[in-house]
Each structure stands twice: as structure tokens, then as C-alpha cells.
Amino acid sequence: MAWRAARSLLVLHQQLRAGAPRAAPPGTGTDEWGLIGDAAHDPTSDHTPHNFAGWGNQIVTAADFPNRPGLGLDAHKVLEDIRRSRDARVKYGISNGQMFSSYGVRGYNAWTWRPYNPANGDRHFTHGHLSVVGDARADGTQPWQTIGAAQARGTEDDDEMGASFGPINIEREGATSLTIPPVSAGLADPRPAWLNFCNDTLGQVYGLRIWYTSGNENFAPLPGTNGGLLALRSGQRFSQQIPSGTSCLSISRKAIDPAGNVVDPTDTLRPYPGHLTCAIERGPVGT
């Protein structure tokens, strides 16, 4: 299976190249802008593609970038900006023999620098490293709070890359209403979009009713479902393109009968345990 990088890391590379154009290739080597690791990397490294339940498979969650202050790209300053922003996408950052993480470790509080002395001796003086969390937040394409954010915002590369947002909690009782920019018709974001679910709860079948509307007071069952009903079994993934013009989705949990079929009672829903989220993925403009 082909690997891909978390989309926030592609944004970071694009943003830094826009903010420090002299440090962009060919001013620096493309190998200095690393995503996937080579054979020498520890298989547990974030540079190695991993599978993430509820998000996706074969995803790289780390990026390197050059430390070239003379060319306008100071890796430590970039990571200090990101550290101070406390961005929810961050797992940890490394540069100049120091690292920080979004969680506390070994007597150091979260978001504080601490010494970095790896066994391989690479203390990251020539480059910076950013790892992101292993869930759908890491696909968020909002600009990072550091150099290049204004220059990179709204560029053609960003449009070509697509975007996604989530995870979004699906409430146990009642309907979860998701208002979104009109699919393939939004003035600011005319992209196609897909609705994604993955059931990562062992042994639990989720029953869902999913309806959509373009805002014309009429709701209809989402294509790909059984008249709007969906049985999502343990470990199963569901991805469906959202019809053009959709501006709102209504998602509610429904009961499951002993055979695993969705029951759609008209009165009340029997609540049942388990945590379920969805994510909405937007494609590139013009697809």
C-alpha cells in the first residue's frame, strides 16, 4: 500500500518554503525536506508509515526541514513559534540538541524544552524535526503559527492538496447536525467532499441514520446507505462522497437488532455505549 504524509506536514513544508524562499530547493537539497525515513530508521519512528485506527493506513507523521539561518530559515525559531502556539496537531519537535512535546515526560512539563541526546548522536543541529499526533487532527491544513503563513495561505499548491477536518463526535442520543460549506458550490471553498467513519470499537456494531440537505428544506438519505441507514461493524470503514450542494448533514445513532440490522424507531432511540467520530475530507479544487 502506498504511504502518504499527514497533510499538516505538507502545509508546513509549503509554508516554510514560502516564508524562506532562498532555503527552498534548489537552495537546499530535497533530501533535507524529509518525510519518509530510510532503512536505517527505527521502525517505530514517526518517519515510518503506520496504520491508525479511525484515521487511515500507512501515514507518515513526521517531517524534517533544513536549519539554514543564513538563508532565512532558522529551524529552532520555527519550532519555538510552534511550541509557543501549543497547536493541537503537535506531538513533539526537535532542534539544536533540544526537544519539546505536547505531553509531560521525565520531570519536564508539556511544551517545555528539554535536552535531546539520542543514541545515534544526531542532535538535530543541521535540521529541525516536527512530529504530529496520530489522528485526524494531523490532517488539518490550517497554517502553522510561524514564518510563511501569510505567503502560503491560498496558494495553488494548497488548493491542489485538499483538506480534511475532524474528528467530530457523534452524540449517543438525538441528531448530530453538521453544517458545512456547500459541497462543490461554496463561494470560498468549491471542493468535493467525502464523509468518513471507522468503527474502532471491538465487538460493537453502530447503527446510524444519515440524511443530507442543500438547505432547501428537503432532506434525503445519503447515497451509499440503505435508505439512509448504515450498519457499521467493528473494524469497518465507510467513506462516501457527499452530494454536490450539500450544506448540512444530520447523523443520529439507531438501534441494532440481534441480527445486526439497523432498526429505525420513530419514537425514541435506545442509547448504547461506545465512542464514534466522523471526519469530512475535501478534495482538491477542480476535481
Give me the residue spans of the domains in the chain.
4-160, 162-282
For the chain, how many helices (H) and strands (E)? 4, 18
d(CA 56, CA 135): 8
**Closest by alpha carbon to 18, among 181, 155, 137?**
155
Measuring CA to CA, how many Å separate 66 from each of 44, 110, 277?
A: 23, 25, 36
Least-confidence region, from 63-67, 100-104, 181-185: 181-185
State the pLDDT confidence band at 73, using cuts at 50, 70 and 90: very high
User: Residue 83 is inside which H or E element, if any?
Assistant: helix 75-85
The confidence score (pLDDT) of residue 41 equals 61
DSSP result, 47-65: TS-EEETTTEEEEE-EEEE
Q: Determine whether 257 is exposed, middle or buried from the number of CB atoms within 10 Å of its CB (0-12, 13-18, 19+).
A: exposed
The confidence score (pLDDT) of residue 183 equals 86
**Closest by alpha carbon to 28, among 78, 72, 62?**
72
Q: What is the mean pLDDT of residues 32-44?
A: 78
Q: What is the mean pLDDT of residues 237-243?
A: 91
The confidence score (pLDDT) of residue 76 equals 97
In the chain, % of residues over pLDDT 90:
45
Q: What is the mean pLDDT of residues 44-48?
A: 91
Strand order in the sheet with 50-52: 4-5, 56-60, 50-52
State the pLDDT confidence band at 160, using cuts at 50, 70 and 90: very low
Residue 212, amino acid: Y
Mean pLDDT of the chain, nearest integer: 85
For 18, phi then psi, to 5°, come to -70, -40
d(CA 177, CA 194): 16
Q: 78, 87 in Cβ contact below 8 A? A: no
Number of Cβ atoms within 10 Å of the Cβ of 86: 11
d(CA 140, CA 167): 10
Beta strands in 67-126 (DSSP E): 90-95, 98-101, 114-115
3-state secondary structure of 136: helix
State the pLDDT confidence band at 156, using cuts at 50, 70 and 90: very low
3-state secondary structure of 117: coil
| pTM for the whole structure | 0.56
CATH of domain 162-282: 2.60.120
The confidence score (pLDDT) of residue 186 equals 64
